[in-house]
Structure 1
């Protein structure tokens, strides 16, 4: 299995019902990507429509130095301006998929069937699926080959109802993330305090609650994918003897 990550980002640049910009929450992308690239993983970028990914200007307020380093990186910014469309992506080339957040994803992640199909194929080949904050809404409608929902019976987190209300956007978003995760059969949990980092790992599914969770999610993702890659390498090793067992 390839050491290659597919990062999913939004194309939504503004809220449909209020005069306010939205888009990618930059830190949820760059803090994750920075860690995984240091660990030796290559990264590709995909968005629901392909092409330009807007950055939510609110994510730049009080942004740490790392965010600005990536923001000033012309290569990275050019890649955000020319992301792949789902039809240009082959799931077999990736060992994992990661859904970034930002409120924009609420409008273009949940019902994008080509992205759902990519995630399903990566997952069913033994790859890891990760998401942070609002990015978890990209997981809501993923159905597996047996027609069951990916989230059913899985431990998961994501942006909480309390955090949405504190952001004063609970009546602007089309639904509340926490509610919908539960409605899909996910076993939702969250940090005791709003905005505190919180990561949930359930096998190859790893989710983070909010922007602060990205830094903690990344190293756990790296360990998970390294385990998957090692298992795949052992399985695919030339001349590897396959044991058989006969029932008594």
Structure 2
């Protein structure tokens, strides 16, 4: 039985971006483990459960009645599936400050702890970072998430990410060369045309950030370098790119395809798709 590690924000994930891949994994009989930064149960963003919500950039509803019910069912506190996620802050070590008086010893301990984590990760066949606005807060610049991604990358296991979850791939960098692991790769992710002008929000706060704090498309264009490419596929209904070991999905409509392509990577050794 194959086993997938799914990383979720504690500040709100987009429902379909979990439901879509999860249904693909369940259909194959995969075991799925969930993890969050501090162990809180992940919560779906309210608009992702609202079939009447009009997505501002697209000017149309993006949640079907059927999907709204699926997300509500998974998000329901009485549904135990998302209970007790793995606690990343306990599982992975904290990186010491460079100013620490015992910096060398602490870095040695840090790398030793990462070696132990990599042994734990041998049980997993792939990792998925789910999107939504929440990852902007607690996944994009989370070095523990980066260390997980780097661990999968070093052993050549599939790494999938959706929407703003793709930011984590751009920022996952070895401290020795600090070069993005997607340099020279083809990826997709939340495009500039899909950015909100107002209303970027998060679960657990009334904060309206307005537009997102960074245009992910620009980050991905820079991170892939001159020999890679960001694919927005604006105007096309689906944008999913496979450039092994990476499987990336642009946004909500691409969720099912992202899950399906990860399955094909695992079952059919798919290496390239979408470009």
TM-score (ref. length: structure 1): 0.78
TM-score (ref. length: structure 2): 0.71
The question of whether the paired residues in 2 share the 8 Å contact of 1:4 and 1:42 is answered with yes
The question of whether the paired residues in 1 share the 8 Å contact of 2:195 and 2:211 is answered with no
CA distance in structure 2 between the partners assigned to 1:167 and 1:193 by the alignment: 22
Distance 1:142 1:76, change over 3 A: farther
Distance 1:95 1:146, change over 3 A: farther
Distance 1:80 1:133, change over 3 A: same
CA distance in structure 2 between the partners assigned to 1:167 and 1:198 by the alignment: 24
The question of whether the paired residues in 2 share the 8 Å contact of 1:141 and 1:149 is answered with yes
Q: In the alignment, which residue of structure 2 is the partner of 1:6?
A: 5
Q: Give the Å deviation of 1:168.
A: 5.8
Q: Give the Å deviation of 1:132.
A: 1.1
Kindly report the root-mean-square deviation, in angstroms, between the aligned alpha carbons of the 2 structures. 2.6
User: Aligned residue pairs: how many?
Assistant: 217
Distance 1:67 1:60, change over 3 A: closer
Residue 264 of structure 2 is aligned with which of 219, 223, 228?
223
Where 2:5 maps in the other structure, the secondary structure is strand
5+ unaligned residues in a row in structure 1: which ranges? 13-22, 229-248
Residues 1-248 of structure 1 mapped to structure 2, 5 A cutoff = 3-12=2-11, 23-62=12-51, 63-64=63-64, 65-69=66-70, 71-73=72-74, 77-86=79-88, 87-88=90-91, 90-144=120-174, 147=177, 148-165=179-196, 169=200, 171-185=210-224, 187-193=229-235, 196-227=237-268
Where 2:241 maps in the other structure, the secondary structure is strand
Distance 1:85 1:158, change over 3 A: same
The question of whether the paired residues in 2 share the 8 Å contact of 1:36 and 1:222 is answered with yes
Where 1:6 maps in the other structure, the secondary structure is strand
Distance 1:127 1:157, change over 3 A: same
CA distance in structure 2 between the partners assigned to 1:94 and 1:132 by the alignment: 19
Where 1:46 maps in the other structure, the secondary structure is strand
Q: Give the Å deviation of 1:146.
A: 6.2
